[in-house]
Amino acid sequence: MQTWDDRQPIYQQLASILAAQLLDGEPVEGSAMPSVRALASRYLLNPLTVNRALQTLGDDGLLENRRGMGLYVTAGARERLRVAERNRFLQTEWPRLRERLRRLGISAQQLNWEEH
């Protein structure tokens, strides 16, 4: 079963999971989100919790409500998420990573930028 940590409310954790999936193009922009009940049953969550998570994604401009048809992924949702993720990496992850590279004495030239 999906496990939820105790650092954040569950609806925020679900919102992060769904945002990560949107970033991977799932579902793709312009298509419908799964229904509240489908998500509730997939993640074994109370439907109210799912609603709050979807509300959060809606507030972030990633989902839009099409009257009578449910929630759809907005055009530009992936780019919006990518920008937010990039900012988060540069502001919080990169300083920590840089610090670790310095401590280990690894320079930019020593890093293999190609795969393999």
| Residues at the interface with another protein (CB under 8 A) | 1-2, 4, 6-10, 37-38, 40-49
Q: Which is nearer to another protein, 4 or 72 (CB)?
A: 4
Nearer to another protein, 12 or 72 (CB): 12
Q: How far is the CB of 92 from another protein (least distance, A)?
A: 16
Written as six digits, the tokens of 113 are 């930028």
Nearer to another protein, 28 or 32 (CB): 32
Cα gap 91→85, rounded to integer Å: 10
CA neighbor of 55 nearest in space, from 43, 64, 44, 46: 64
HEC string for 19-36: HHHHHCCCCCCCCECCCH
Task: Output the smallest distance, CB 19 to another protein, in A.
Answer: 18
Q: What whole-number distance in Å separates Cα of residue 35 and Cα of residue 112?
A: 43
Q: Give least dist CB 35 to another protein, A.
A: 10
